[in-house]
Amino acid sequence: MAFPKKVLLVFLPSDSGVDGARSLYDEPETGSVRQWFDRSVRTIIKKSQFAIPPLSLMILGSIEVPGVEQQLCDMRFEEFPAEKKWDLVGISVQTGMARKAFELADMVRKKRIPVALGGAHVTLFPDSCRPHADVLVHGEADDLWKEALEDLRSESLKQDYRTKGFPDLSLSRPVNKRMLIKNRYFTTNLIQTGRGCPYNCDFCNVHVLNGRSLRRRSVGDIVAEIERFLEHDRRIFFFVDDSINADPAYAEELFGRLIPYRISWFGQATTTLGQQSRLLDVFAQSGCRALLVGIESVEPASRSAHRKNQNKATELVAAIKNIRHAGISLYGSFIYGLDGDTLDTPSAILDFVRETKLDVPGINILRPTPGTRVFERLREEGRLLFDPDDCTAFRYTFGQEMLYKPKRIPLDAFVDSYSTLTRELFTSAQSFRRGLGAPSAKTAVLFFNLFYTHLYGLSRNDLRKQVLTHI
């Protein structure tokens, strides 16, 4: 047996969006000025749009097993190192990039290197992954990966590693950044305080993958992690939890403990934070600079159609104003095209954005991801525009293709109204106005708005091409 065993963990870029949007239909000629321009813009977007390390692989790479060495290949920044000899290649598979992951896995296996596939897609669709893997890791891999590495060391890898329930996150599992190349990323300070979501939005699969109850790490462990991370990188912290205020007492304790560290941080929260005045104050004091909040819809009919019930449309405006008033900038994420939406919805969104002065209004088109309830419902209603039986047919793009037929709006009228909405919201002048007016993180707000001005232009062009020529 040769030691150490060499393991490569691979993270794949998405075809579009924050990994660098490109047209789905119109690749510029090789060597042309436009190709150079597109590439430059993609690189800037990748760097500035908060390109952060893949936390799941950071967690797995921090697991130490004597006799095994792990490395990371982040394919957003580098090619797969095909010339090197690996004892195991682990690939994280997301639905939306499954085809790419399978192609890479097949190529690696042809070289007689064993491949382990894990991630959300494996958990939801193991049968589609099996032909491309020697090992499948089902579910949250925190403990399973250690078992797999030990089996690799003793040359007794199994075909399947499964969790019995969810890992107990209150146990200490120190995360380190040994595998990361610091300057590639906007920040390497990623923290996850827990997993699971008690809410039930039908377009989301977090509650399916991570459970309905919140599992929390110990506050002491997180504070110790932040102290360690600060020795390596003093840039901004990013709390990746889907709703960092879902457990207000826990959040108050954690962020109260962080006040003396004088860090700056971004995170994701629900707008109910605007009604949690004590917690809001603690967030502001602990260095919270910007939050992403999922508004999804200002139409009550759409909110109830998609079970987005945790905060009421009528309370959103006041909540957002309170958060911004506390000095925290807000990225408000909308989905246009939900089942209660009509052609009047874009003007309601515009009014809402004007009234609340949201710093970045992100306009998304519904993505019926396989594995979510909305996917199943749209499949039953015959409204999907991709093959629902091919789970590699779904792909991530920056709003560049329609994946379903909206319920109350004809497709071409929907694309026209989406185009008008995004054109009105995103201009260079609006970007500078929002950047200057943001309560904090002004530069980030400016850059986000400028990039979105570019990206929404791309998405409008692609949507028009899709509707005119491909549907």
Q: How far is the CB of 204 from ligand SF4 (least distance, A)?
A: 3
In this chain, which stretch among 40-48, 136-144, 201-209, 252-260 interacts with ligand SF4, using CB under 6 A? 201-209
Q: Which of 132, 207, 289, 395 binds ligand SF4 (CB under 6 A)?
A: 207
Q: Does 201 bind ligand SF4 (CB under 6 A)?
A: yes
Residue placing its CB nearer to ligand SF4 in the complex, 235 or 307: 307
Work out how close the CB of 377 gets to ligand SF4 at its nearest, in angstroms, rounded to a whole number. Answer: 16
38 touches ligand SF4 by CB under 6 A: no
- The residue (of 204 and 236) whose beta carbon lies closer to ligand SF4 is 204
The distance of closest approach from Cβ of residue 297 to ligand SF4 in the complex, given in angstroms and rounded to an integer, is 12
The distance of closest approach from Cβ of residue 41 to ligand SF4 in the complex, given in angstroms and rounded to an integer, is 29
Residue with smaller CB distance to ligand SF4, 128 or 243: 243
Is 187 a binder of ligand SF4 (CB under 6 A)? no
Q: Look up residue 370 and give its amino acid.
A: P
Number of residues that bind ligand SF4 (CB under 6 A): 9
292 binds ligand SF4 per the rule CB under 6 A: no
Task: Name the residue nearer to ligand SF4 (CB basis): 207 or 395.
Answer: 207
In angstroms, what is the minimal distance from the CB of 309 to ligand SF4? Answer: 10
SS (H, E, C) the chain: CCCCEEEEEEECCCCCHHHCCCCCCCCCCCCCHHHHHHHHHHHHHHHHCCCCCCHHHHHHHCCCCCCEEEEEEECCCCCCCCCCCCCEEEEECCCCCHHHHHHHHHHHHHCCCCEEEECHHHHHCHHHHHHHCCEEEECCCCCHHHHHHHHHHCCCCCCEEECCCCCCCCCCCCCCCCCCCHHHCCCCEEECCEECCCCCCCCCCHHHHHCCCCEECCHHHHHHHHHHHHHHCCCCEEECCCCCCCCHHHHHHHHHHHHHHCCCEEEEECHHHHHCHHHHHHHHHCCEEEEEEEEECCCHHHHHHCCCCCCCHHHHHHHHHHHHHCCCEEEEEEEECCCCCCCCHHHHHHHHHHHHCCCEEEEEECCCCCCCHHHHHHHHCCCECCCCCCCCCCCCCCCCCCCECCCCCCHHHHHHHHHHHHHHHCCHHHHHHHHHHCCCCHHHHHHHHHHHHHHHHHHHHHHHHHHHHHC
Q: Segment 361-390, which members bind ligand SF4 (CB under 6 A)?
A: none
Of 55-63, 204-212, 275-283, 311-319: span binding ligand SF4 (CB under 6 A): 204-212
Counting contacts by CB under 6 A, is residue 243 touching ligand SF4? Answer: yes
Least Cβ distance, residue 206 to ligand SF4 (angstroms)? 4
Residue 194 sits at φ, ψ, to 5 deg, of -175, 180
Sign of CA dihedral 376, 382, 385, 390: positive
Smallest gap from Cβ 268 to ligand SF4, in A, equals 8
87, 242, 299, 341: which one contacts ligand SF4 (CB under 6 A)?
242
**Considering the rule CB under 6 A, would residue 206 count as an interface residue with ligand SF4?**
yes
Q: Which of 104, 197, 254, 279 binds ligand SF4 (CB under 6 A)?
A: 197
* Smallest separation (angstroms) from ligand SF4 to the CB of 198: 7
Q: Cis omega before residue 406 (within 30°)?
A: no
- Cα–Cα distances in angstroms (integers) from residue 254 to residues 20, 54, 133, 239, 275, in the given order: 34, 23, 40, 12, 19
Minimum Å gap between C-beta 269 and ligand SF4 is 10
Work out which of 18, 116, 122, 204 binds ligand SF4, going by CB under 6 A: 204
Nearest to ligand SF4 of 61, 332 (CB atom): 332
Q: Which is nearer to ligand SF4, 337 or 439 (CB)?
A: 337
Of 86, 145, 199, 331, the one binding ligand SF4 (CB under 6 A) is: 199
Least Cβ distance, residue 210 to ligand SF4 (angstroms): 9
Query: Least distance from C-beta 171 to ligand SF4, angstroms?
Result: 23
Site string for ligand SF4, 85-104 (x = CB under 6 A): --------------------
Edge-to-edge, what's the strand order for the sheet holding 115-118? 68-74, 5-11, 88-92, 115-118, 135-138, 160-162
302 lines the binding site for ligand SF4 (CB under 6 A): no
Binding residues vs ligand SF4 (CB under 6 A): 197, 199, 201, 204, 206-207, 242-243, 294
